[in-house]
Amino acid sequence: HQEPASCVRFSPDGFYTAFAAGCNVLVFVTETTQLDTTLVGHDATVTAILFSPHRPHTIITASMDRTFKIWDLAHSCLIYQSSVISASPFLCASVDPHHELLALGTADGKLRLFNIA
């Protein structure tokens, strides 16, 4: 059984395409559509995928599980995991292009900002 897609994102250089399916993020090499890695760790649907404009090969994910995670694609590993930091699920996210700042929007209409430096 395949999970429905909740979001998809190209890396800034177009080399990777990241695709959220349920709790997992599948990262493909765009040109060949070959699966490069699967990021496993969220406990609920991934709602946002961001490629960091500040660190090459870094992906940030947010989820209905009320956490965000930072992944190192070069080593296919988790490098940071937040605790549950909201009473409401994360529905959207953005990274400031000039500062290492993550903005998360929640289901209860709140904006949360985090320094990810």
The torsion defined by the Cα of 60, 105, 1 and 57, in degrees rounded to 10, comes to: -10
Nearest by Cα to 100 from 112, 114, 113, 117: 117
Question: What band does 117 get if pLDDT is binned at 50, 70 and 90?
Answer: confident
Q: Over pLDDT 90: what percentage of the chain? A: 86
The overall average pLDDT reported for the chain is 93
* CA distances, 72 to each of 1, 2, 59, 80, 88 (Å): 27, 25, 7, 9, 26
As a whole number of angstroms, the distance between CA 33 and CA 16 comes to 9
H or E stretch including 12? none
